């Protein structure tokens, strides 16, 4: 319940930007999801955004995050997907908002 209340508070505080451009509205919405990630998942998201778009899930987990004890790649990818920060294409590739 506390998470939902916190998310609602954050959304209400972002209302003033809704009248802005579509990019501002999208950024505000995505920023809420990003800010509530733990540090490892934030770093995972930034890695994906900078270097790893269009890779498939098994390649990402096996090659990039394999051996990183602080990161649970499957959990992190699912968390990013659940927050609409990434999505999987039918071909298995990883995509995100431009």
pLDDT tens readout for residues 57-75:
777 777 666 666 666 778 8
Q: Are 16 and 52 in contact (CB under 8 A)?
A: no
Which pLDDT band, with edges at 50, 70 and 90, does 16 fall under? very low
Q: How many residues does the chain have?
A: 98
Q: What are phi and psi of 12, to 5 degrees?
A: -65, -40
Domain ranges in the chain are 2-95
pLDDT value of residue 19? 57
- Greater confidence, 15 or 36? 36
Q: Tell me: the pLDDT tens digits for 79-90? A: 888 888 888 888
Task: Give the pTM.
Answer: 0.64
Q: What is the mean pLDDT of the chain?
A: 76
Is 84 in a helix, a strand, or coil? coil
Query: Cα dihedral angle (82, 4, 46, 24), rounded to 10 degrees?
Result: 100
Distance in angstroms (rounded) separating the CA atoms of residues 61 and 29: 27
Higher per-residue pLDDT: 16 or 51: 51
CA dihedral 21, 26, 32, 35 (to 10 degrees): -100
């Amino acid at each position: 319940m506390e998470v939902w209340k916190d998310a609602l508070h954050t959304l209400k505080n972002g209302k003033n930007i809704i009248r802005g451009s579509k990019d501002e509205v999208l950024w505000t919405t995505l920023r809420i999801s990003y800010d509530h990630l733990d540090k490892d998942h934030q770093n995972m998201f930034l890695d994906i955004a900078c270097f790893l778009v269009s890779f498939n899930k098994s390649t990402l987990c096996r090659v990039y995050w394999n051996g990183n004890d602080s990161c649970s790649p499957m959990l992190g990818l699912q968390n990013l997907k659940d927050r609409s920060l990434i999505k999987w294409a039918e071909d298995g590739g990883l995509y995100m908002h431009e």
